[in-house]
């Protein structure tokens, strides 16, 4: 299953072993980890007597079927579109609110109770309510994803803005920089690694948002595909969208991780 993110990693990075494994060694272990799990799963499925336990091979076959029938493509597109739009709206609004909260104390004081409370709330709880309000179309899904994505982005952005070194703000001051230019030259670049961390953490949440919304609306999307197949006990077919979601999440997460590492690399000096 997906290695769920527990690494709210700070800019200082983690601890390191004394002897680092070589690049090849790392790759080897990475690959054997993957193979091992798949093999164990396959063996277990073959030994099992229940028809509900399916192995990886059956999932691969089911993938072929779902691609051939066009179902996978159609539903994936629908999910991806809602996810992308929701991600965009959620992260832009999270960014704006985060910047304001981080930079202006009074905005922080005013908004903090809402942000803290809602961040701590299991947001899936409001999904049925939102669907009643917004209907069974894509609008509901987009709004739900936006809300899920908003909080990690806003909170990380605000934290990043508060971490902007005062020395650099004073430097901007000393050159008579106007507020907007200080944002452009100092505040945003300084907070950028935090912002990317927020985006990275929000990918997983956004995907949860899409899938749960699709369970509830039960009209289209990968969530609906999982639901409809598993209700008919088509276990292999219902696992196909799960694998697709897993890969999508993993790819996005890793990409953002690389961007983030690249940025931190360039400013090690500070």
Partner 1 sequence: MAQIRAENVEKHFGHVQALGRLHLEVETNEFVSVLGPSGCGKTTLLRIVAGLVPPDGGTVYVDGEPVTGPRPNTTLVFQHFRLLPWRTAEDNVAYGLRLRGMAKRQAREEVRPYIEMVGLEGFEKSYPYQLSGGMQQRVGLARALAIDPEILLMDEPFGALDAQTREVMQEELLRIWNATHKTVVFVTHSIDEALVLSDKVVVMAARPGRIIETIEVPFPRPRPTNLRADPVFAQLRTRMWELLRTTEPEETGVAGG
**Distance separating alpha carbons of residues 242 and 192, to the nearest angstrom:** 32
The encoded tokens of residue 138 equal 């894509």
Q: How far apart are the first and last CA of the chain?
A: 37
190 lines the binding site for partner 1 (CB under 8 A): yes
Quick one: 99 or 213, whose CB is closer to partner 1?
99
Q: Considering the complex, what minimum distance in angstroms separates the CB of residue 100 from partner 1?
A: 22
The set of residues, in sequence order, having a beta carbon less than 8 Å from that of 214 and lying 6+ positions away, is: 79, 141, 220, 221, 222, 223, 224, 227
Q: Considering the complex, what minimum distance in angstroms separates the CB of residue 262 from partner 1?
A: 11
173 lines the binding site for partner 1 (CB under 8 A): yes
Quick one: 66 or 95, whose CB is closer to partner 1?
95
Whether 145 and 92 have beta carbons less than 8 Å apart is answered as no
Cα three-residue angle 153-159-269, rounded to 5 degrees: 110
5 lines the binding site for partner 1 (CB under 8 A): no
**Region 231-270 residues binding partner 1, contact defined as CB under 8 A:** 263, 266-270
- Residue recorded with tokens 């680092």: 20
The encoded tokens of residue 186 equal 């100092």
User: Candidates 81-89, 98-106, 189-197, 211-219 — which segment interacts with partner 1 by CB under 8 A?
Assistant: 189-197
**Distance separating alpha carbons of residues 268 and 107, to the nearest angstrom:** 31
114, 117, 170, 180: which one binds partner 1 (CB under 8 A): 170
Number of residues counted as binding partner 1 (CB under 8 A): 21
User: Candidates 25-33, 99-107, 151-159, 186-194 — which segment interacts with partner 1 by CB under 8 A?
Assistant: 186-194
User: Candidates 74-82, 124-132, 177-185, 223-231 — which segment interacts with partner 1 by CB under 8 A?
Assistant: 177-185
**Distance separating alpha carbons of residues 152 and 149, to the nearest angstrom:** 6
Whether 94 and 154 have beta carbons less than 8 Å apart is answered as yes
142 lines the binding site for partner 1 (CB under 8 A): no
Q: Considering the complex, what minimum distance in angstroms separates the CB of residue 266 from partner 1?
A: 6
89 lines the binding site for partner 1 (CB under 8 A): no
Q: Which residues of this chain interact with partner 1, rule CB under 8 A? A: 167-168, 170-171, 173-177, 181, 185-186, 189-190, 192, 263, 266-270
């Amino acid at each position: 299953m997906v290695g769920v993110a527990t690494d709210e990693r700070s800019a200082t990075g983690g601890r390191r072993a004394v002897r680092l494994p070589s690049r090849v060694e790392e790759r080897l272990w990475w690959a054997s980890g993957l193979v091992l799990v798949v093999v164990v799963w396959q063996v277990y499925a073959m030994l099992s007597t229940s028809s509900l336990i399916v192995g990886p091979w059956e999932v691969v076959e089911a993938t072929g079927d779902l691609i051939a029938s066009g179902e996978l493509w159609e539903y994936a597109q629908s999910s991806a579109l809602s996810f992308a739009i929701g991600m965009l709206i959620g992260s832009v609004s999270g960014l704006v609110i985060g910047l304001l909260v981080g930079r202006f104390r009074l905005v922080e004081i005013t908004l903090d109770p809402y942000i803290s409370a809602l961040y701590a709330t299991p947001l899936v709880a409001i999904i049925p309510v939102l669907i009643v309000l917004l209907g069974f179309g894509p609008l509901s899904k987009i709004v739900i994803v936006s809300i899920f994505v908003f909080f990690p982005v806003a909170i990380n952005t605000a934290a990043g803005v508060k971490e902007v070194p005062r020395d650099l703000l004073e430097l901007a001051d000393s050159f008579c920089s106007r507020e907007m230019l200080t944002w452009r030259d100092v505040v945003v670049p300084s907070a950028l690694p935090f912002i990317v961390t927020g985006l990275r953490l929000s990918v997983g949440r956004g995907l949860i948002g899409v899938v749960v919304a699709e369970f509830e609306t039960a009209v289209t999307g990968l969530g609906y595909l999982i639901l409809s197949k598993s209700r008919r006990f088509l276990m292999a077919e219902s696992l196909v969208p799960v694998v697709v979601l897993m890969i999508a999440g993993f790819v996005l997460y890793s990409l953002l991780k690389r961007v983030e590492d690249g940025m931190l690399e360039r400013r090690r000096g500070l």
